[in-house]
Amino acid sequence: MDDAALLARLQELRQKIDELSYQYYTLDKPTVTDYEYDMMYRELENIEKAHPQWVTPDSPTQRVGSKISGGFAKYTHDRPMLSLGDVFSDDELREFDQRVRSDLGGEALSYVVELKIDGLAVNLIYEHGQFIRGVTRGDGRVGEDITNNVRTIRTIPLRIPSTSPHIEIRGEVYMPVASFMQLNAQRRDDELEPFANPRNAAAGSLRQLDPRITAQRKLAFFAYALGGAEDNTITSQEELLADLQKFHFQVNQEYRTFTNIEDVITFIHSWDDRRDSLPYATDGMVVKVNSFAQQHRLGNTVKIPRWAIAYKFPPEQAKTKVLGISVSLGRTGVLTPAADLKPVRLAGTTVKRATLHNEDFIKEKDIRIGDTVIIQKAGEIIPEVVRPVLADRTGKEQIFVMPKTCPSCGGPVVRVEGEAATRCINPDCPAVIGEKIAHFVSRDAMNIDGLGDAIVQQLLDHHLIQDVGDIYGLRREDLLGLEGFGEKSADNLLKAIETSKSAGLARVLFALGIRFVGAKAGRILAESFGSMEAIMAASTDELTALDDIGPRIADSIAAYFAVPAHGDLIRKLAAYGVVMTAEKRQLLNASFDGEIVVLTGKLQTMTRKEAEQAVELRGGKCTSSVTKKTTLVVIGSDPGSKYDKARTLGTPIITEEEFRDWLQRE
C-alpha cells in the first residue's frame, strides 16, 4: 500500500474508532465486538508507529499523554466559571422565581431543570473542532491545566464537528458509582485510605501527575454549559444540550423544561426516592433560565449567576441499633471491623452493615455494641456510622475489643506500632488465601474472566487449589465435577486461564498482592528491570533509585521475595508458562543522563513530543516549568517567559541546533 492509500486508511480508522468509542462509552451501545475494536486500534497504532509524522493530538491513540512534572500550569478562563447559589427549600425556589420574573418585567420564560452531578467542574477548549486544553474551575477565574488527564476520559471527544475557531464546553467530570466502589475496594486491599465519596475520588484522579493512573480510574464527563465561543448561534440551554449531543458529548438525559416554578418543584421532589438508583452521585438539581438572551439580561453578581440556582438535597440519615461488631479479613491479613445493624431503610436501600474501618475509629467515635447510632451514606454511597446517640444509652452497651486471634484460622494477630491495622500473620490462613486468589484473578490483575469469588471458594473447598499457581494446573475434569459447570463453561474458564498467562510482568507483580505494590508500581518495576528474576535479585537501593518507588515499597518487595514460599510460587508460575518478562526500557545513550530538561519555544526540526522522547531515551527527564531543579533549557523560536526565567536563575540554555548535537553524543 502506497503512502497516499495508507494515509487514507489511517484517517478511516480514526473516524471508525472515534464513532465506536462514542457508541461504547457515551451511548453504552457497542456495535462491534471488543476483538474487532482491538484489531482496528492495533492497525492504527502500527500505521502511526511506522509514520510518526502522521500522529496528531486528536488521534485515538493519544488519549494517554506523558507524565506531568512539576505540577499543573495555571490557565486563565476566557469567561469566569461562576459558582451557583444554593437553596434548600421549596419556598426559597419560589423566591428565586419571583426575583427572576420581576427582573425580566414579567415576560414569559421557561426553566431547564438538570440533575446536579457531584463531580468536578471542567472547561474544555476546542479550536477548529480539535480539543486543545482541559482546565479545572479553580477559583473561577484561574484554573489548572489538566489536559493530559482529560484526554484519558473516553466520554470526552478529541474532535467535534464544530466550525468555530474557538469554543469552550463546560461540564462535570465524575466517577461512576461502580468505578468508585471498585477503586475503594482496591485501596483498602492496598492499605490506603479509601476516598470519602465519588467527588473526592474524581478530584484526586484528575490531579494525578501520571495520566495512566487517571485512565485507570474510569472517569466520565457530562457536558452542560458553554464558555467562551466564537460564531456562536445557540440561543437557549435546551438547544445547547441538543447540540452537545450532536458533538458526541455525553449529556445527562434526565433534564426537563417547565414554564412555572410549581412544576419545577414537583419534578425535583420526584427524585426523592429515585436518585439513589442512579449510577452516579448527585447532590441536588440545577434550575436555569432557558433563554440565553434572558440569561444575559439577568446577568451575574461577582460570584454567581442571577439566572440559575442549585437546589441541594438534604443529607438522609437514619437511627438504628448496633447488634454486634464482626471482623473480616482482607488479602494482606488486615482485620476490618464492621457494625452489624438492625436493618433500616436509608437512601433507597436497606442497610444492615456499616464499615468501622479500624480499632482507632471505633474508639474515637466511642461506638459500642448495643448503641443506638445515627448512620448515613458517605457521598450517598457507603453506609457509615456518624455517631452514637449517648442519650439513649442504658449502661448495658459493651465496649468492643479487637480479637487477639484470627477469626478465620485462630492464629495470632498483631498490630505494628504506628499503624492502625491489626493483621493475621499466618500465611496459610484460609480467609487470606481466598482473598489473595480473588485479587490475583481480578480484572486489573490477571483478568481471568469467569473465576469469581464463589468459584474460587468451590475450588478451595474441593482442595483443587491451594495458591494462585494451582489455577494454572486445573483440568477440564476438575471443573466438570463442580456444581454449575458444564462442558462449555469449563472450556471457557480454561481458555480464560490460558489467555491470562500472557498478561505480562506488570500485571503479575500487581496480582501477587505484594504490600504497597499497586498497578503503577508494577508497571515501573516491569519497564525498569524487564524480568521477575531481575526484580527478585534487586537490592533496596536499586529499587529506590526508580521514580515513584520509595523505601516503603522497596522494603516490602524485598521482604516478600525473602520468603522461600514466594520464590517457590514464582517458579511454579513460570513452570506453567506464565509470562514474567517485559520489554525493558533501553537508553540509546547517556547524553542526557540525570538532566532535568525544559523545552520552550517552537522547534523547527522535530515535534515537542519527539524531543521529549529523545531526552527520556537518553536518561533525562522533561518537565513543564523552569525551577531551581532544572539543569538545562532547550529553546526554539519565540521561547517566551521560560527563557527569561532560566536566564534569571542562571540555568544553562542551549539552542535547537546544540540540542541535536547533544542527541548524537555517546
What does DSSP say about strands 621-623 and 596-600: parallel, antiparallel, or unpaired? parallel
SS3 404: coil
Per-residue pLDDT tens digits for 174-231 = 999 889 888 888 787 676 777 878 888 898 889 887 888 888 888 999 999 999 888 7
Same domain, 435 and 495: yes
Helix (H) or strand (E) holding 521: helix 519-529
Average pLDDT over every residue of 261-283: 90
Position 285 in a domain: yes
Position 70 in a domain: no
| CATH code for the domain of 340 | 2.40.50.140
Position 409 in a domain: yes
- Whether residue 303 is predicted with pLDDT greater than 90 in this model: the reply is no
- In whole numbers, what is the pLDDT of the chain averaged over residues? 88
Same domain, 298 and 215: yes
Same domain, 525 and 640: no
Residue 151: per-residue pLDDT:
92
Rounded distance, CA 367 to CA 322, Å? 9
* Total residues found in the chain within this entry: 666
The residue segments making up the domain with residue 401 are 318-413
Position 267 in a domain: yes
List phi, psi (to 5°) of 145: -80, 110
Count other C-beta atoms under 10 Å from residue 47's C-beta.
19
Average pLDDT over every residue of 78-106: 92
- Name the domain boundary from 464, 480, 500: 500
Rounded distance, CA 463 to CA 474, Å? 11
Give yes or no for a contact between 281 and 338, defined as CB atoms under 8 angstroms apart.
no
Same domain, 327 and 192: no
| CATH code for the domain of 49 | 1.10.287.610
Residue 67: per-residue pLDDT:
53
| CATH code for the domain of 218 | 3.30.470.30
- The catalytic site residues sit at 116
Instruction: Give me the helix-helix angle, 551-561 and 564-575, nearest 10°.
Output: 80
Same domain, 155 and 131: yes
Per-residue pLDDT tens digits for 567-590 = 999 999 999 999 999 876 666 666
Give yes or no for a contact between 44 and 10, defined as CB atoms under 8 angstroms apart.
yes
Same domain, 150 and 257: yes
User: CB within 8 A of 190, min separation 6: which ones?
Assistant: 515, 516, 518
What does DSSP say about strands 130-136 and 120-127: parallel, antiparallel, or unpaired? antiparallel
Position 538 in a domain: yes
Per-residue pLDDT tens digits for 519-561 = 878 988 998 899 999 999 999 999 988 866 888 899 999 999 9
Same domain, 27 and 129: no
- Name the domain boundary from 312, 338, 359: 312
- The grid coordinates of residue 420 equal 492502625
Same domain, 564 and 625: no
Residue 15: per-residue pLDDT:
87
Output 511 or 642, whichever has higher pLDDT: 511
Position 587 in a domain: no
Give residue 508's pLDDT band: very low, low, confident or very high (50, 70, 90).
Answer: very high
Residue 69: per-residue pLDDT:
47
Position 67 in a domain: no
Same domain, 237 and 373: no
Same domain, 144 and 244: yes
Among 556-570, 594-608, 636-650, the range with the most confident prediction by mean pLDDT is: 556-570
What is the identity of the amino acid at 64?
V
Residue 586: per-residue pLDDT:
65
Work out whether the CA dihedral 556, 559, 564, 567 comes out positive or negative: positive
SS3 123: strand
- Name the domain boundary from 575, 605, 632: 575
Average pLDDT over every residue of 395-424: 91
From residue 199, give the alpha-carbon distance in Å to each of 175, 282, 349: 7, 10, 21
| CATH code for the domain of 549 | 1.10.150.20
Give yes or no for a contact between 255 and 112, defined as CB atoms under 8 angstroms apart.
yes
- Whether residue 65 is predicted with pLDDT greater than 70 in this model: the reply is no
Per-residue pLDDT tens digits for 425-481 = 887 898 889 989 999 999 889 999 899 888 999 999 899 999 999 999 999 999 998
What does DSSP say about strands 256-258 and 368-369: parallel, antiparallel, or unpaired? unpaired
Give yes or no for a contact between 367 and 400, defined as CB atoms under 8 angstroms apart.
yes
- The grid coordinates of residue 157 equal 471527544
- Whether residue 645 is predicted with pLDDT greater than 90 in this model: the reply is no
Average pLDDT over every residue of 417-422: 84
Give residue 349's pLDDT band: very low, low, confident or very high (50, 70, 90).
Answer: confident
Counted domains in the chain: 6
Position 288 in a domain: yes
Same domain, 100 and 213: yes
Question: How is 340-378 classified by DSSP, letter by letter?
Answer: EEEEEEETTEEEEEEE--SHHHHHHHT-EET-EEEEEEE
Residue 28: per-residue pLDDT:
57
Same domain, 513 and 622: no
